[in-house]
Structure 1
Amino acid sequence: MIVKSAHFVKSATRPAHYPEGDLPEIAFAGRSNVGKSSLVNVLVNRKNLVRTSSTPGRTQLINFFQVNDCFTLVDLPGYGYAKVPLEVKKAWRPMMETYLSKRRNLRGVVLIVDIRRTPVEEDLQMLEWLRAYSVPPIVVVTKCDKVSKNERARQTAIIAERLGVEKSELSFFSALSKEGKDGIWARIDALLEVGAEGTEQPENAGIEAS
């Protein structure tokens, strides 16, 4: 993927505020402070398209970024940060589940986990949602430059087992060395191509907010 242009479109919390049109979307999800913003910035060759914050859990909106005027990257709110206010936590589930179940433009979700951490319950819940709504996941393991080869191998086995996926399904990434960038784009391209062939997202029943 050669990125010629990338720009912020808008933020939203509900379907009425999502961007209009039928551009395909690839969303990015993960625990707060997992390196989501850095991953997106490296992919689109921009330093600050998605702002990184020293305060985990700060972003609580769904942010849309148009790339090459032909598809959209969607930055979903980070989850799992203990200091986020309770009312924000309560709003997170219906906001996220509504987007995942209702957004017809959605072609896939990049689910991000930290190589140094065991996936948490929210990661498993996200993967469960994606499977329930037939949204293809791309599991990306970030911060790979921060562990040794032996630790990387050990953590890879733990992460794969915890998520219930094969090791071959994991894409590894380092914002420092740019390792994995081309491979992640290849998987994103594949999902965009499937959408271009006319594959429609299934209709989903209503969801319960909690």
Structure 2
Amino acid sequence: MTDTAGPKPYEQSPEPRKSRKVYWIVGSLILAAIVLGTCVNGGVKAFKAVSARSAATDEIVRQFMADGLPPASDPIYSRRIEITQKAVDDTDRYIRQYGTVTEFSSPSCTIRTAANTDAAKSGTFADCAMSVVSEESPGRVTVQWVREDEAWKIIGFNVTYSDQSVLLDKAEQADKMAPEAPEAAADVPMDPAAEE
């Protein structure tokens, strides 16, 4: 019997397989560079967007606090929500009661993207806030932006002052200025025909 366990003298053993370790290392480095580049690029774009919203918020707040809010029909406001002229006038009147703003802080902004079944709540939003000091009280101004048709629009403008006693003082002043009803008016009959 012949031994068939070992290689035959005319057979050659296959060449040893080349290591692919170098390819794995190079491929991993390329993939890491792409991921890192994407992250850095996204971070740079986010920083630019936040910086742009901060600058726009600073400019808008300074303008609105000095000159008053623009009318409700102004294109600066988003059409996603109903902004009435009465709401604009009420906000403007509230701001004026506290006097001229003398100090502004730097605004801080965050940008978020949301998906919602309600179209008014879907999209890219920026929430910005800054502190102000007026003649009567310190306060906080928040501006909410929404990106519409490649432009940023205001979806909310809120002002809150910390000293609410200013409003009470104004109400007391208005009460003092109102003419007092004469007591004799209580003696006049309601129906002049009844006296005849």
Normalising by structure 2, report the TM-score. Answer: 0.20
More helix by share: 2
**Higher Cα Rg, which structure:** 2
Normalising by structure 1, report the TM-score. Answer: 0.19
Q: Which has the higher contact order (CA 8 A, sep 6+)?
A: 1
